A and B are shown apart, each in its own frame.
Chain A
Amino acid sequence: DSGVTQTPKHLITATGQRVTLRCSPRSGDLSVYWYQQSLDQGLQFLIQYYNGEERAKGNILERFSAQQFPDLHSELNLSSLELGDSALYFCASSPRASTGELFFGEGSRLTVL
């Protein structure tokens, strides 16, 4: 158990809809990262937050947004969903902004029909 909690574990929705994925980092970790894992593209970095502020942005679509709240939990919002958004979305946390080791949650599996 990494200590990172993600909800929901599974989500099925329709194209055009909007969903919110939630992540609670390990106790004391200030950095939260979101990754997308799909079969054909491996693990793709989406975005990082550190202590409530956006720190780094990767291949995140404009239809996606995220935030980190004062209690350090994070939410990833996916809107105008398309079939291609079906994937596993992982949240990871780390104690600081500049450390290599990430602790991953078990992921949220999104299926868009």
Chain B
Amino acid sequence: QQQVKQSPQSLIVQKGGISIINCAYENTAFDYFPWYQQFPGKGPALLIAIRPDVSEKKEGRFTISFNKSAKQFSLHIMDSQPGDSATYFCAASKVISGSRLTFGEGTQLTVNP
């Protein structure tokens, strides 16, 4: 059962533009929403994460927006750079159950110079 739906599947952005990736979840018990970044040949690495008690979290050029009522969250990458080209995965888990992260399908981001 796919509990986290991610869109778009792929995204092409010009350097300096804003990249936006969206995720929707079904399980209202989820209480931890991370985004992972994966470069070719590497494993996913935590980029930024949010808990449902806040609506936004910003770390540098990366911002998570969270809408609890809509059961949606999104990743915004401001001033996108070619080095941001990677696959991005949203995920969700119920921390108390032991970090069984459920991942979205992934978004392949390409930032053109």
**B38-46, B57-65, B73-81: which lies at the A interface?**
B38-46
List, in ascending order, chain B residues with CB within 8 A of A45's CB: 100-102
Are A99's CB and B43's CB within 8 A? no
Are B98's CB and A106's CB within 8 A? no
Chain B interface SS verdict (over half): mixed
For chain B, give the interface size range: 20 to 34
Additional A-B contact list (20), CB under 8 Å, known A43-B89, A103-B45: A35-B103, A42-B89, A43-B103, A45-B102, A48-B100, A50-B98, A90-B44, A97-B98, A97-B99, A98-B99, A100-B32, A100-B34, A100-B49, A101-B46, A103-B46, A104-B43, A104-B45, A105-B43, A106-B43, A107-B43
Q: Nearest chain A CB to B74's CB is how many angstroms away?
A: 18
Are A33's CB and B99's CB within 8 A? yes
Chain A interface SS verdict (over half): strand
Are A92's CB and B98's CB within 8 A? no
Q: A42-B89, A90-B44, A105-B43 are in contact. Are A100 and B101 (CB under 8 A)?
A: yes
Are A102's CB and B95's CB within 8 A? no
Q: Contacting B98 at CB < 8 Å: which of A31, A42, A103? A: A31
List, in ascending order, chain A residues with CB within 8 A of B96's CB: 98
Q: Nearest chain A CB to B86's CB is how many angstroms away?
A: 14
Are A55's CB and B43's CB within 8 A? no
Q: Nearest chain A CB to B67's CB is how many angstroms away?
A: 19
Are A99's CB and B100's CB within 8 A? no
List, in ascending order, chain B residues with CB within 8 A of A104's CB: 36, 43-45
Name the residue in B46, B98, B99 with the highest tally of chain A Cβ atoms < 10 Å from its Cβ. Answer: B99
Q: Is B56 positioned at the interface, with any CB of A under 8 Å from its CB?
A: no
Are A42's CB and B105's CB within 8 A? yes
Q: CA separation between A100 and B34, bound complex, in Å?
A: 8
Are B98's CB and A55's CB within 8 A? yes
Q: Is B97 positioned at the interface, with any CB of A under 8 Å from its CB?
A: yes
Q: Which 5 A-B pairs have the closest CB atoms?
A: A104-B43, A100-B32, A43-B103, A42-B105, A97-B98
